[in-house]
């Protein structure tokens, strides 16, 4: 029998509902715990829709600030805390997509008035593909355990606890693998 049990979805939702109620009362410690639980899924949703990690990080931060500010407006009779938070994330992400589309349409309209330099688009496309390939190469340089943990957390949107439950390892081990993997990725990509 395992030394610890991972809470099921119903228990987790009830726990999040309680945490959100505490956040509504201004409890910063409860917000920290709530943040740990929902930041990964919020980021995962945003990155799946936007396909841009930098924008997804911005969205996740905006949503979590909104959760802090609007926690008192959460109504548990209309659904669970995770559903409410993910709905906020979805709305914010879709708003960003619409803003980007409107901006692109304006730029396209303005671009029709100008003669675009074809080489700029090609160069950008090549650089984008090279960046993606560098990330894939660097992910390939990680150990299998690090790559699996990072993929589950950052690409699939699972919380660290969910990653630990999914691969059957203690939370501390998963956190260490992810931290070590991110350090190796940073070094491989030459990010300072």
CA distances, 156 to each of 43, 45, 48, 83 (Å): 9, 8, 8, 17
Structural domains of the chain, with CATH: 7-116 (1.10.1740.10), 118-192 (1.10.10.10)
| pLDDT at position 18 over 60 | yes
**Angstrom distance (rounded) from CA 16 to CA 10:** 10
User: Contact, 89 vs 60, CB < 8 A?
Assistant: yes
What letter would DSSP give residue 72?
G
Q: Give the length of the chain.
A: 192
pLDDT band at 135 (very low <50, low <70, confident <90, very high): confident
Structure tokens at 88: 């906020």
Give the per-residue pLDDT at 1: 46
| pLDDT at position 30 over 70 | yes
pLDDT in tens, 137-188: 888 888 988 889 888 888 788 888 989 999 999 999 999 998 998 888 888 8
| pLDDT at position 11 over 60 | no
| pLDDT at position 14 over 50 | yes
3-state secondary structure of 169: coil
Give the per-residue pLDDT at 168: 93
pLDDT band at 24 (very low <50, low <70, confident <90, very high): very high
Structure tokens at 31: 């917000």
| pTM score above 0.85 | no
**Angstrom distance (rounded) from CA 182 to CA 186:** 6
Give the per-residue pLDDT at 151: 85
Tell me the residue ranges of DSSP E strands in the chain: none
pLDDT in tens, 42-97: 999 999 999 999 999 999 999 999 999 999 999 888 889 999 999 999 999 999 98
**Which of 30, 29, 23, 34 shows the shortest CA–CA distance to 71?**
23
Question: Which of 39-43, 59-63, 103-107 shows the lowest mean pLDDT across its residues?
Answer: 103-107
Give the per-residue pLDDT at 6: 47
pLDDT band at 5 (very low <50, low <70, confident <90, very high): very low
Structure tokens at 46: 């945003």
- Cα 123 vs. chain centroid, distance in angstroms? 29
Helix, strand, coil abundance in the chain, percent, nearest 5: 80, 0, 20
Give the per-residue pLDDT at 113: 66
């Amino acid at each position: 029998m395992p030394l610890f049990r991972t809470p099921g979805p119903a228990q987790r939702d009830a726990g999040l509902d309680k945490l959100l109620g505490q956040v509504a009362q201004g409890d910063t410690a409860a917000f920290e715990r709530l943040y740990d639980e929902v930041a990964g899924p919020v980021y995962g949703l945003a990155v799946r829709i936007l396909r841009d990690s930098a924008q997804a990080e911005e969205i996740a931060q905006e949503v979590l600030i909104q959760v802090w500010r609007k926690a008192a407006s959460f109504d548990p009779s209309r659904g669970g805390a995770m559903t409410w938070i993910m709905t906020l994330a979805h709305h914010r992400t879709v708003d960003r997509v619409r803003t980007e589309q409107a901006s692109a349409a304006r730029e396209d309209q303005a671009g029709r008035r100008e003669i675009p330099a074809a080489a700029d688009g090609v160069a950008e496309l090549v650089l984008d593909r090279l960046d993606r390939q560098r990330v894939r190469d660097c992910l390939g340089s990680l150990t299998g355990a690090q790559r699996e943990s990072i993929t589950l957390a950052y690409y699939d949107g699972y919380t660290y606890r969910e990653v630990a439950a999914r691969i059957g390892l203690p939370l501390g081990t998963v956190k260490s693998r992810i931290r070590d993997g991110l350090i190796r990725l940073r070094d491989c990509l030459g990010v300072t």
